């Protein structure tokens, strides 16, 4: 990471925490390494923290801007879509030093002008929820994660355990496909479950991962697991 940061012209590092697609939640030690490097090489850290409230114990979300010396060099981006289950409303926000937000406002004005006023009014209701809302949210997502991951484990599928977010990556190496998109198309046709090809998330040529999304009702997750139970028979080539 240091080699990349010290290249001439580098102005900022983008950090997605908790991370989509792998569900990684960066711990304090890891965040401190990034913070120290950003101070040493005088760069900004632009964070995407839209899954800040979907984190599984014992992991916890630590805000980059809260670390010593990072408040003035962190541009914190977040969204209301995951926390309040309003995906598609496209309501988000940036928290940064005043001189940075002045620039952000200019870009925002030219790109979108503003979010739809009725949606902003409605979102205020969510922003006023008490702490118990966030605890229930965490419990609910923990339940869905455990249900789906235990099911995938019982089938014998190779997955990474997400520490946050509502995604799980599955390693498809054992199925014999060289292309993850083709795997996903076949999975829909032969098994009846949709996944997202992992290659879309990587700069490198990674084609052995697909992403499932488990923010679903119990009966939907159980039906998906039921369909996936004979995946080996249907998908191996
Ligand atoms: C990491 C990450 N950032 C941003 C977004 C977009 O958020 P919004 O719904 O506010 O457009 C998503 C949505 O999937 C996401 O996964």
How far is Cα 64 from Cα 95, in angstroms, rounded to an integer?
11
Output the CA 127–ligand 1 centroid distance in Å. Answer: 18
User: Looking at residues 144-165, what average pLDDT do you find?
Assistant: 98
Nearest Cα residue to 23 out of 175, 209, 180, 194: 209
What pLDDT does residue 1 have? 87
What is the residue with the minimal CA distance to atom 11 of ligand 1?
Answer: 90
Q: Which pLDDT tens digit goes with each residue over 196-233?
A: 999 999 999 999 999 999 999 999 999 999 999 999 99
Output DSSP code: residue 159.
Answer: B
| Residues making up the chain, counted from first to last | 237
How far is Cα 45 from Cα 70, in angstroms, rounded to an integer?
8
Distances (CA, A) of 55 to 27, 33, 86, 159, 202: 12, 21, 18, 18, 23
For the chain, what is the mean pLDDT? 97
Q: What is the CATH number of domain 132-235?
A: 3.90.1150.10
Q: Which pLDDT tens digit goes with each residue over 18-40?
A: 999 999 999 999 999 999 999 99
Q: For ligand 1, what atom is nearest to the CA of residue 92? A: 10
Q: What is the CATH number of domain 2-127?
A: 3.40.640.10
pTM check: above 0.75: yes
Neighbours of 21 (CB within 10 A): 22
Q: For ligand 1, what atom is nearest to the CA of residue 81? A: 9
Output the CA 50–ligand 1 centroid distance in Å. Answer: 6
Using a 6 Å CB cutoff, which residues line ligand 1? 16, 20, 48, 50, 79, 81, 87, 90, 92
Output DSSP code: residue 6.
Answer: T
Residue 184 confidence (pLDDT) above 90? yes
Q: Which pLDDT tens digit goes with each residue over 58-113?
A: 999 999 999 999 999 999 999 999 999 999 999 999 999 999 999 999 999 999 89
User: Looking at residues 7-17, what average pLDDT do you find?
Assistant: 97
User: H/E element holding 77?
Assistant: strand 74-79
Output the CA 176–ligand 1 centroid distance in Å. Answer: 32
Residue 237 confidence (pLDDT) above 90? no
All CATH 3.90.1150.10 domain ranges of the chain, comma separated, are 132-235
């Amino acid at each position: 990471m240091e080699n990349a940061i010290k290249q001439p012209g580098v102005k900022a590092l983008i950090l997605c925490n908790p991370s989509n697609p792998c569900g990684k939640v960066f711990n304090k030690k890891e965040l401190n390494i990034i913070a120290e490097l950003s101070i040493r090489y005088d760069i900004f850290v632009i964070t995407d923290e839209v899954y800040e409230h979907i984190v599984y114990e014992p992991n916890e979300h630590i805000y980059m801007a809260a670390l010593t010396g990072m408040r003035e060099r962190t541009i914190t981006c977040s969204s209301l879509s995951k926390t309040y289950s309003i995906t598609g409303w496209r309501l988000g926000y940036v928290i940064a030093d005043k001189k940075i937000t002045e620039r952000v406002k200019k870009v925002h004005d030219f790109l979108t002008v503003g979010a739809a006023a009725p949606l902003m009014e409605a979102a205020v209701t969510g922003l006023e929820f008490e702490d118990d809302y966030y605890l229930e949210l965490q419990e609910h997502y923990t339940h869905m994660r455990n249900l789906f991951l235990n099911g995938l484990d019982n089938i014998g599928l190779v997955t990474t355990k997400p520490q946050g977010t509502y995604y799980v990556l599955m390693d498809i190496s054992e199925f014999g496909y060289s292309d993850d998109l083709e795997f996903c198309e076949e999975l829909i046709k032969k098994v009846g479950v949709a996944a997202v090809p992992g290659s879309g998330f990587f700069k490198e040529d990674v084609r052995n991962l697909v992403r499932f999304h488990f923010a679903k009702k119990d009966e939907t997750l159980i039906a998906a697991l039921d369909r996936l139970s004979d995946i080996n028979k249907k998908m191996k080539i």
